[in-house]
Each structure stands twice: as structure tokens, then as C-alpha cells.
Amino acid sequence: QDSQPGKEYLMDPLPIFSNPHYKPSNKLQGKVALVTGGDSGIGRAVCCSFAKEGATIAFTYVKGVEDIDAENTLKIINDSKTSDAGDPIAIPTDVRYDENCKKVVDQVVAKYGRIDVLVNNAAVQYETYSLDDITEQRLERLFKTNIFSQFFLTKYAVKHMKEGSNIINTTSAVGYTGSSKLLDYASTKGAILAFTKGLATYLVDKGIRVNGVAPGPVWTPLEAASLNDEDLAAYGSQVPMDRAAQPVEIASSYVFLASQDASYFTGQVLHPDGTIL
Ligand code: NAD
């Protein structure tokens, strides 16, 4: 069993585990990918894996809200990218707002001319101790970040997506199961499941595939920021595999879905979750 890094690791946005079994093979050569929340955790692992597969990367980040380091992520992407890929760009923005999402898409299209893969990944999470925790302000923050952003970015990105391109939405195992400890967060993830299924049908005639990824527990700063010490110490113990995943173990699902290997996959959700579901 892989050892679990502690809270200290989780607060450090820099390390990214390498997966010795992963062999890139230019599956995304010539593709332009826009990834939200690309400076941290799963999003960063997705950016680096996509870059290794030949994609040109644009990612969004929100400076100062989470513990982030876009410059370092850019460096990791640059070190990962293939020689014919374009230079990566990091776009600071708050994806809760429609007009910001429009500007992000405009910026990517102005630089690269199109979007081939949209990864709607940015999210926040808060632990629920009591129903009294659920305030209007907190619900607004959760739903706007986690699901409004996916609608807005999709709305603008599809105008520039050609037949053969695709969208991947990050949901979560708790989107299926619900969670008493993540009551409102899990509800946003359930909404993403419905959005993903409906959008897949909506875009089928345009030849745009839409899929989701529903991870179980993953070691990322999201957990360190939202869980108390006791829950963090037990993190991953509820998984039959008895450990949380590392971000690169999740990123491989995105590589598959984004590539032509998944040409007959739309409206599907992959569950890299150590058999939680
Ligand atoms: P993370 O905290 O490392 O990354 C979240 C990202 O979202 C950050 O890059 C952050 O800057 C961005 N973000 C947050 N609020 C934003 C805003 N208003 N505007 C723009 N960007 C914003 O977390 P992570 O664990 O890598 O999470 C990535 C995705 O995976 C999320 O959708 C999360 O719900 C999902 N997920 C995570 C786990 C897990 O165990 N870590 C499990 C299932 C699903």
C-alpha cells in the first residue's frame, strides 16, 4: 500500500506524484485543452498528463482563495509538454460568474483559435457538521463555483468546439451516494451528474462528446482545507482499497475520455474510486 502524505503535504501545492506505470503516447497531439482549477490537485495532474500526451494547455486558477501557485504549475506543464505543443497559459479568474467564463473562453480562442477539450473541474468543498451550517452565502458559494461555472463555461466553449471535441465534468462519488458530512457539496456533485447526462444528449448532433469523472477520496489541498483533523487522519479508510488516491491516478481517466480511445463514450461517468460505488 502506498503511504499517505499528511496535512503538510496537502497544503503544499507543489508536489505531484509520478506514476511509473503511465506511458504517454501522444493521445492528445494537436489538441487545445481548457482546464478549470488547473493549478492544484486533480486539475493540475490533468494539465500535466494532457501536456505529456501532446495537448496545449490553458488553465484557470483563482489566486489567493486556495493555496495555489500558478507559476509553478506552468513550469511543471512546460517540463511535461511535447515539443510541438503551444505554450501553456494560466488565466486568473473566478469561475462563479458568467461574464468571467465568457472572458476565459474568449482569451483561449484568441490565443489558440479553438477549444478541443473542456475540463470543468474547479470546485470548493465544506464539511457539514449541522444543518445550521447551511447558509445562503455558503450555498451560493458552493453551487456557483461547482455547477454554475460548468454551465457558463460550457455555454461559451461549445461555440468554438468542432465535431470530435469533448467536455469532461468533474463530479464525485458522493454525487451518487450523498454524504451526511458533505451534505451541500454532495448535492452540487449530484447536479453535475444530471448536467453531464443531459448535455451529452443535447450535444450529440454536434459530434461533441460529454462525460464525467467521479473520484472517491483523493489527496489534494481541497481535503486539507475542508476537513477537520480527525476526519483527515481517517481519510481514505472508508475505501475498500484502504487508501485515498493520488491525483495522477485520477488524471488517467481524463486522458482516456479526452482521447479518441473514448470515441464511443458519451454521457458516461468513470469512477476511479477504489470501489466506493
Ligand atoms: P483543489 O482544491 O486542489 O482544486 C480545486 C481548484 O478549484 C483549485 O485550482 C481552485 O483554484 C479552483 N477554484 C476554487 N474556487 C474557484 C473559483 N471561484 N473560481 C475559479 N477556480 C476556483 O481540489 P481537488 O481535490 O483537486 O478538486 C478538483 C475537483 O475534483 C473538484 O471538482 C472536486 O470537487 C473534485 N473531487 C475531489 C475529490 C477529492 O477527494 N479531492 C473527490 C471527488 C471529487
| pLDDT tens by residue, 43-102 | 999 999 999 999 999 999 987 644 456 888 899 899 989 999 999 999 999 999 999 999
pLDDT over 60 at 17, yes or no: no
For ligand 1, the distance from its centroid to the CA atom of residue 4, given in whole angstroms, is 19
Residue nearest to atom 1 of ligand 1 (CA): 222
Contacts with 217 (C-beta within 8 Å, 6 or more apart), sequence order: 223, 235, 236, 238, 239, 244, 245, 274, 276
pLDDT for 158 beyond 60 = yes
Determine whether the shortest distance from the Cβ of 68 to ligand 1 is under 6 A. yes
From ligand 1's centre to the CA of 125, what distance in Å? Answer: 8
Distance from the alpha carbon of residue 260 to the mean position of ligand 1, in angstroms: 26
Query: What number is the ipTM of this complex?
Result: 0.99
Which tens digit of pLDDT belongs to each residue from 200-246?
999 999 999 999 999 999 988 788 777 788 888 888 888 998 888 88
Task: Tell me: pLDDT of 11 over 80.
Answer: no
Query: Does the beta carbon of 66 sit less than 6 angstroms from any atom of ligand 1?
Result: yes
Is 129 among the residues known to form the active site? no
pLDDT of residue 44: 92
N-term to C-term CA, the chain:
21
* Closest to 82 in 3D by CA, of 59, 114, 48: 48
- pLDDT score recorded for residue 276: 85
Per DSSP (E only), the strands in the chain are 32-35, 56-61, 89-92, 117-120, 166-170, 209-213, 269-270
Q: Which of 152, 108, 118 is nearest to 46 (CA)?
A: 118
- Least trusted range by pLDDT, from 77-86, 156-165, 255-264: 77-86
Q: In this structure, what DSSP letter does residue 67 have?
A: S
The grid cell for 160 is 468554438
Q: Is 13 in the pocket of ligand 1 (CB under 6 A)?
A: no
Per-residue CA distances from 85 to 10, 31, 111, 265 (Å): 30, 8, 13, 26
Residue found under cell 469533448: 166
Please report which confidence band the pLDDT of residue 12 belongs to, taking 50, 70 and 90 as the band edges. very low
Structure-model confidence comparison of residues 157 and 246, the more confident one: 157
Among 61, 112, 185, 254, the active-site one is 185
Mean pLDDT, residues 132-152 taken together: 97
Number of neighbours of residue 184 by Cβ within 10 angstroms: 20
User: What pLDDT, on the 0 to 100 scale, is given for residue 167?
Assistant: 99
Decide which of 13 and 21 is more confident. Answer: 21
What integer is the mean pLDDT of 158-165?
98
Q: Which of 83-87, 168-172, 267-271 shows the lowest per-residue confidence on average (mean pLDDT)?
A: 83-87
Average model confidence (pLDDT) for the chain? 90
Rg of the chain over all Cα atoms, to the nearest angstrom:
17
pLDDT at 85: 95
Q: How many CB atoms lie within 10 A of CB 61?
A: 27
Strand locations in 82-225, DSSP E? 89-92, 117-120, 166-170, 209-213
- What is the reported pLDDT for 13? 41
